[in-house]
Amino acid sequence: MTISIIILIIVVIILVFYFIATQRKLVQLEELTQNAMSQIGVQVTSRWDALTQLAKATKAYSTHEHDTLVEVIAARRGEIKGTSSPKEVDLQEQHIENVMAKVNAVAESYPDLKANTIYKDTMASINDYENKVRVSRMVFNDTVTKYNNVVKQIPSNIVANILKYTAKEYLQEDSKKADMPDLQF
C-alpha cells in the first residue's frame, strides 16, 4: 500500500469518528432541550394545581367567584395539553396571568380571604412555582444555546445539516415584565 492510501484511510476513519461523535452530541443536546421543556411543563401544571386550590379557598367567601374561577381555570388548562414549544409556554403564561388577575380581584373584594392561612400558603406555593418556572426557562434557554452552537458552528453544522438537525427557538421574555413596575403607594 502506498502512503497516500494509508493517509486516505486514516482521514476517512477520523471523519467517521467525528461524524459519530457529533451525532451523539446532537442527540444528547436535543434530549436535554426536550427535558428542559418538560420541566417547564411540570412547573406550569403545578401552578395550575395551586391556582385550583386557591379557587377552592375562595368558596367560603363567595360561591359565585369560586365557580367563576374554577370554570376559568378548567377552561385555560384544557386549552393547552402540554408545553412542547416556546409559543405554548408563552400562551400558558398569559393564561396564568389572566387567572391571577381574577384571583387578585376576588382577594381585594374580600379582605378576610387575604388573611386566610390557606390563601396565604397557596399564594406562597404559587410564587414558589413561579420561581421554579423562571429557573426552568433559564435552563431551557441555556440548553438551546448549547444545542444551537453545535448546529450552527463549522464543522459540526455539516453533520447537523446531513442529519437534518435545525436550530431551536428560545423562550422569549415578556417585554411588559422588563419594565420597572410603578411602586407608588
Tell me the DSSP string of 5-47. HHHHHHHHHHHHHHHHHHHHHHHHHHHHHHHHHHHHHHHHHHH
Question: What is the assigned CATH class of domain 34-141?
Answer: mainly alpha
**Rounded to an integer, what distance in angstroms lies between the CA atom of residue 24 and that of residue 31?**
11
Q: What's this model's pTM, rounded to 2 decimal places?
A: 0.72
pLDDT by position in tens, the chain (length 185):
699 999 999 999 999 999 999 999 999 999 999 999 988 888 888 888 887 777 777 776 666 666 767 766 766 665 555 566 777 877 777 777 777 777 777 777 777 766 677 777 878 888 888 888 889 899 999 999 999 999 999 999 999 999 999 999 998 876 555 444 443 43
**Rounded to an integer, what distance in angstroms lies between the CA atom of residue 32 and that of residue 10?**
33
- Position 160, amino acid: A
Count Cβ atoms within 10 A of the Cβ of residue 102 and give its class: 0-12 exposed, 13-18 middle, 19 or more buried: middle
